[in-house]
């Protein structure tokens, strides 16, 4: 009986204790009426930045320290007071951190931030002042170093990408060939090295260029968080020795020998024609990009060979080609004497046939004219004979004889 009554008393005391604690909490968590004049924040009301930049906002607070006691929270929110983006807990007033708000990079756009304090139990004060941030597009581009290269020799391109508050960059290279097609170069295609130095991330791209890589574009692309992308493009300069192209040829045009030689190289490779012993000839040269075009002209009868040599050279080498003269032996002998045209027999045959037809036509016409001239007198003779049978001659042959008088 005694044990049962003791248990009841213990239970009652426990219930009473819980009730008192609950009442105490409710008293402590009751919201105070705050005076706005006791709260203020000093900071800029607007600022500008580039996409991905670190944004530092210094500010100073004024609040009643007899009411807002540690531990309390300093909270920055974005747009809505319920959307917290930065929280600092102050446990000791003497160890309070500096009042600086840092934003770790933003994409392009306009943003609004606010500040509030929280302390005690459900005690909150939202400062009415707002911070507006205007973020423009990132203008800082990677720095790409590309020095003149030589065909077949290993070369290195270096890309230095800025490190932004939005995070480390992911760097890749994009190569645009002469045909306009772009391809992304991956690690297994080329050799990459990547490291961080003096606030920039560095990527090195190793390659062995070819002549066709000259004047192609290569781009260093740096990608960050929030879909922030920046890039820089450089044009490759590749030096290479002369290459004589397939369009080079020599032909005989009428009485002239005309030779064309086309060479490509970087630096531009001038073209020479080894005709020191000749005096009557002309050379016209032109160039476009890395191509040189030279035209040589002279009287065909003055040239005694069946081939012509073209020489092109620059500081990296020399190229030469022996060009055969097309149709040379058909028009000119090996000694330079002019031959009859292969079409001459055909032309002679046609000419003879035309002359024969003309002569035949003349003979026929002359014969017909002669026949016509002979036909006219015959007709006249027939008419006269017919007339004589009717008139004078007949009358004379049959005249009447008168009788003589007795």
Question: Is there a single domain that holds both residue 230 and residue 246?
Answer: no
183 and 116 in a single domain? The answer is no
> Measured in whole angstroms, how far is the alpha carbon of residue 117 from the centre of its chain?
56
pLDDT value for 356: 73
Average pLDDT, the chain: 79
121 & 149 share domain: no
Specify if 355 maps to a domain.
Answer: no
| Domain shared by 129 and 200, yes or no | no
Question: Which of 280, 296, 331 is where one domain is finished?
Answer: 331
Q: Which of 105, 136, 167 is the last residue of a domain?
A: 136
Assigned domain for 165 exists: yes
Task: Evaluate whether residue 121 is within a structural domain.
Answer: yes
- pLDDT tens for 205-255 read 999 999 999 999 999 999 998 889 999 999 999 999 999 999 899 999 889
CATH of the domain at 305: 2.60.40.10
Question: What does the pLDDT look like over 345-402, one tens digit per residue?
Answer: 545 555 566 667 777 777 777 777 767 665 544 444 444 433 333 444 444 443 333 3
The answer to whether position 388 is within a domain reads: no
| 353 within a domain of the structure (yes/no) | no
Same domain for 112 and 96 = yes
Please say which residue of 284, 303, 331 terminates a domain.
331
**pLDDT tens-digit readout, 321-346:** 999 998 754 444 434 444 444 444 54
Q: What is the pLDDT of residue 192?
A: 41
Residues 261 and 292 in one domain: yes
Q: What is the pTM of this model?
A: 0.62
Within a domain: 380: no
Give the pLDDT confidence of 152-210 residue by residue, as tens digits: 999 999 999 988 887 788 889 999 987 888 888 754 334 444 444 445 678 889 999 99
216, 266: one domain: no
Most confidently modeled range among 15-24, 254-263, 391-400: 254-263
CA dihedral 354→355→358→359, nearest 10 degrees, is: -150
- 82 with 124, same domain: the answer is yes
Co-location of 247 and 206 in the same domain: no
d(CA 285, CA 295): 6
Alpha-carbon dihedral 60, 63, 66, 67, rounded to 10 degrees: -130
Domain contains 28: no
Q: In this structure, are 272 and 297 located in the same domain?
A: yes
Residue 386 lies in a domain: no
Residues 326 and 247 in one domain: yes
Same domain, 198 and 217: yes
| Mean pLDDT, range 59-80, rounded to an integer | 93
Q: What is the pLDDT of residues 87-113, one digit of tens each?
A: 999 988 766 667 899 998 899 999 999
Number of separate domains in the chain = 3
Note down the domain range covering 195: 143-236
């Amino acid at each position: 009986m005694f044990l049962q009554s003791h248990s009841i008393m213990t239970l009652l005391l426990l219930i009473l204790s819980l009730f008192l604690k609950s009442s105490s909490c409710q008293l402590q968590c009751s919201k105070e009426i705050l005076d706005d004049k006791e709260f203020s924040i000093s900071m800029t009301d607007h600022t500008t930045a580039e996409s991905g930049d670190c944004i530092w906002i210094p500010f100073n607070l004024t609040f009643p320290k007899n009411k807002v006691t540690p531990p309390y929270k300093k909270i920055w929110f974005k747009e809505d007071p319920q959307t917290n983006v930065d929280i600092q807990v102050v446990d000791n007033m003497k160890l309070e951190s500096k009042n600086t708000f840092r934003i770790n990079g933003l994409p392009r756009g306009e943003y609004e931030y606010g500040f509030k304090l929280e302390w005690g139990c459900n005690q909150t004060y939202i400062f009415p002042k707002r911070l507006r941030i205007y973020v423009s597009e990132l203008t800082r581009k990677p720095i790409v170093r590309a020095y003149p290269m030589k065909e077949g020799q290993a070369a290195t391109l270096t890309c230095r990408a800025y490190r932004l508050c939005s995070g480390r960059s992911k760097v890749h290279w994009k190569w645009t060939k002469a045909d306009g097609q772009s391809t992304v170069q991956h690690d297994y295609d080329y050799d990459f090295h990547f490291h961080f130095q003096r606030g920039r991330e560095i990527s090195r791209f190793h390659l062995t260029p070819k002549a066709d890589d000259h004047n192609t574009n290569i781009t260093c692309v740096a990608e960050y968080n929030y879909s922030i992308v920046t890039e820089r493009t450089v044009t490759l300069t590749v030096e290479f020795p002369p290459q004589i192209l397939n369009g080079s040829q020599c032909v005989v045009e009428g009485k002239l020998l005309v030779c064309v030689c086309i060479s490509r190289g970087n630096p531009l490779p001038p073209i020479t024609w080894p005709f020191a012993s000749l005096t009557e000839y002309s050379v016209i040269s032109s160039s476009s990009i890395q191509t040189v075009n030279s035209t040589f002209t002279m009287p065909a009868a003055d040239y005694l060979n069946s081939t012509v040599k073209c020489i092109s050279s620059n500081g990296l080498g020399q190229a030469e080609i022996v060009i055969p003269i097309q149709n040379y032996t058909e028009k000119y002998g090996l000694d330079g004497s002019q031959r009859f045209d292969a079409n001459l027999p055909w032309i002679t045959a046609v000419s003879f046939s035309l002359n024969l037809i003309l002569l035949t036509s003349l003979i026929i016409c002359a014969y017909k004219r002669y026949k016509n001239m002979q036909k006219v007198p015959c007709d006249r003779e027939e008419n006269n004979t017919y007339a004589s049978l009717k008139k004078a001659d007949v009358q004379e042959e049959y005249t009447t004889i008168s009788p003589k008088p007795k």
